[in-house]
Chain A
Amino acid sequence: MNHVHDRLAALAAGELTPAETDRVQRHLDECAACRREAAAQARLWEQLGETVAAVAGPSVWPAVRERTIDGGTGWFYGPVGWARRGLATAAVAAGLLLGIMAPGGGIAARETDLTTVDLLLAESSLSDGTGTAGLAGIWLEAGAAGTEDQP
């Protein structure tokens, strides 16, 4: 006798085809062990239905709106986000190159950190239409400040 334990969840969920349902039901008519198993699973199934986590918190809409419609991630990952990400990457690369080629032998780690942070902060100015010129300006300004700190 082939037991049907492995089909009982699908039976309870109404996921079996009519032919499969008939086969399982016929087996249940004849098999006490499978009937007990089916009854136990049905009780658990009911219990699960009564314990759905219904947590009603405040809507995430304002935060999601801020991150998408208002700019934020929408600007960076939107339809032309690839172009903006490419632009930002190119600006970082250009900045690093400028720093390495600068008189004085390159950029110290501390300066790199400073300018990278500034560059990330400058993303918002890009979205306002400042463009690459604005980014380069910020980069050079930060680089100059860093050079002054050199012994």
Chain B
Amino acid sequence: MVTGTPDDDALMARIASKEEAAFRLLVLRWEPQVRAFLIHMLGSVEEAEDLVQDTFVQVFGRAAGYRAEGLFKSWLFRIAGNLARSRLRRRKILGWVRFEFAEHDLAAHGPGPDADLERKQEAERLHAAIARLPGRQKEALVLHRFQGLKYQEVAVAMGVTVPAVESLIQRSLAFLRTALTDEEVPR
């Protein structure tokens, strides 16, 4: 099926020629996913906003060197991931990250206020556990489960092998289950 919307590789070729309309389209197309990824990685909406900008500034600066191989998504998240890791390194301590929960983070899905509250509390616990995940596990899980990247795409984005991605994701799930179970046990 032919659509009127150019794919990412085509947009990148036009961005390399400094075509503003192409760059704008690419930014508007990808910024929600990049923002969500960075919020999960950094646990801070404010810091994520800074790095969303930085990510697209780097996309623009590197457009001339981009190779159109149909791997734009991996390439984009590799840039965003590098920026996030760099920011986390600067904080020195990876473990203090706490997910900032904004009201609008949680859409109301449940039928009533009690269900909403319960769902919200569950989501808060889960997000807090995600925030405590070791960096590489978190990156692999977020890229795969939240950003919809296939294992192969995650592998390219993170510069690791597909089995390594599988292992990181498997370990992240084990970590989350342990973290959630530990929270439920009264002390």
Contact = CB atoms under 8 A, between A and B. Distances in A.
Contacts of A50: 109, 119, 123
A65 B18 CA distance: 11
Interface stretch (A73-81, A107-115, A135-143): A73-81
B67 interface: no
A107 B140 CA distance: 52
Given A47-B126, A55-B104, A9 B27 contact: no
B61 A60 contact: no
Contacts of A49: 145
A59 B36 contact: no
A49 B28 CA distance: 23
Nearest to A58: B49
A6 B169 CA distance: 10
A55 B123 contact: no
Interface string B146-176: 1000110000000000000011011001001
Report, as a range, how many residues of chain B touch the other chain.
Answer: 35 or more
B181 to A, nearest CB: 10
B57 A10 contact: no
Given A15-B166, A55-B102, A60 B150 contact: no
Report, as a range, how many residues of chain A touch the other chain.
Answer: 35 or more
B109 A60 contact: no
A126 B20 CA distance: 23
B23 interface: yes
Interface string B107-120: 10100000000010
A69 B23 contact: yes
Contact of A79 (B31, B36, B64, B151): B64
Contacts of A5: 170
Nearest to A10: B166
A45 B145 CA distance: 8
B53 A60 contact: yes
B61 A73 contact: yes
Contact of A53 (B28, B36, B57, B150): B36
Closest 8 pairs (CB-CB, A-B) = A77-B61, A68-B60, A51-B123, A64-B56, A9-B170, A60-B53, A53-B39, A15-B151
8 contacts: A5-B170, A7-B166, A9-B170, A13-B145, A48-B145, A50-B119, A60-B31, A81-B61
Given A6-B166, A50-B119, 20 more contacts: A6-B170, A9-B166, A9-B173, A15-B150, A41-B177, A50-B109, A53-B36, A53-B39, A54-B32, A54-B104, A56-B104, A57-B45, A59-B28, A59-B31, A60-B49, A64-B56, A65-B20, A68-B60, A73-B61, A74-B61
